[in-house]
Amino acid sequence: MGASSPSLVGPGLLLVLLTALISGASTFANGYAVAGTSSAVFVTFRNLLVAFLVLPLGLLAFRGASERPSARQWGILLVIGLVGGAIPFLLFFQGIALATAAGGATTASFLYRTLFVLATVLGIVVLRERFHWKAVVGGALLLGGNFLLMALTTPVWTDGSAYVLAATLLWAGEYTLSKNLLRSLPSGLVAAGRMGFGAAFLLAYLGLTSQLGAVVLFSGAQWTWVALSAVLLSAFVGAWYAGLKRVDLGVATSVLVLGYPVTWLLAVAFQGAPLVTGELWGALLVVLGAFFVVGWRSLRELARWTLSRFPRSGRTTT
């Protein structure tokens, strides 16, 4: 787990696990949400709503902080908003749309799930997180599981794949910046800064490309999907940055890969996708890989912390 304090491991892992579940559900829902809309307009107004939803977290963190952020820290938050809350969202949804049209959405999604590889390297090189051989074994299991979950009948590379890969690289870099900033700033402030500045950049992009007026074409049903997607992303952002503050970047992004089998299970349950044995083994390998990276000691800490939240039965009082 690196240098993370044992007292932070339990709640941090729980938050990251929750983020992975939210990520899987969000990916599934976004397939419906973005259908029939301009991906740039959808992303902008969805993220704008998210910025308003997470704003209270930022305000509480700002008021409760012992020190106000410096000019340098505000500058880093601005960069995080651009390279984490704006550009990669545009690239990712445009890439998924192009890949879907070419029949390669599954493989494009696989590229996004490799984010943990670069994030782990950046965590070791930039953040000086501890390297452990378990990360190599766990990473291999994660990649193998994702590969089995990928439909091999689809094109390996499409026009949209480059967009998704670029978004993945940007998010890996942004998570590294955010993890470093979380050492000195509250998670609520980093989350609000990422989504708030990101939404401002997205609005500016729509204005410069004359796309703002397209929002009036959204139907009531589409606005419902926008709202649902915004709620899921708000929950993702809140849990993710709170967990990332407590858990090493490489471990956190590895656990985040668990979102992929969650999306797959939802597709099987609600879209009638076939339950293929190879994909089932892939999902199991992803779970095994994630928990291999986390390690038994940290899992034990998570169990202890979770159990300590509940009162013991049969306790007597005097």
CA dist 96 to 92, 93, 105, Å?
Answer: 6, 5, 6
173, part of any domain = yes
**Spatial CB neighbours of 18, under 8 Å, sequence gap ≥ 6:** 239, 243
Contacts of residue 205, defined as CB under 8 A and 6 or more positions apart, other chains included, come to 40, 44, 86, 90
Split the chain (318 residues) into runs of 10 and give each run's mean pLDDT: 54 93 91 84 96 93 86 97 97 88 74 91 94 85 84 69 94 98 95 97 96 89 93 97 95 92 88 81 91 83 81 52
Other CB atoms within 10 A of residue 243 CB: 25
- Residue 1 resides in a domain: no
Is residue 207 in some structural domain?
yes
Containing structural domain, residue 55: 6-308
The pLDDT score that the predictor gives to residue 151 is: 63
pLDDT on residue 3: 46
**Cβ–Cβ under 8 Å, residues 45 and 226:** yes
In a domain, 318, yes or no: no
Q: What is the pLDDT of residue 43?
A: 96
Q: Please count the structural domains in the chain.
A: 1
Q: State residue 318's pLDDT score.
A: 40
Q: What is the pTM of this model?
A: 0.90
Q: Tell me whether residue 316 is in a domain.
A: no
Say if 69 falls within a structural domain.
Answer: yes
Q: Which of 114, 243, 115 is nearest to 179 (CA)?
A: 243
Residue 272, in any domain of the structure = yes
315 part of a folded domain = no
- pLDDT of 285 reads 92
| Identity of the amino acid at 35 | A
User: Where are the alpha helices (H) located in the chain, listed in sequence order?
Assistant: 6-33, 39-64, 71-83, 87-101, 105-112, 115-125, 133-149, 159-181, 187-208, 220-244, 249-256, 259-270, 277-294, 296-308
Give the whole-angstrom CA distance, residue 236 versus residue 26: 9
Q: For residues 82 and 84, give the distance between their C-alpha atoms in angstroms, rounded to a whole number.
A: 6
* CA gap 198, 147 in Å, rounded: 32
The one-letter amino acid code at 141 reads L
Residue appearing with tokens 């949400």: 33
Beta carbons within 10 angstroms of residue 3's beta carbon: 9
For residue 154, what is the DSSP state? S
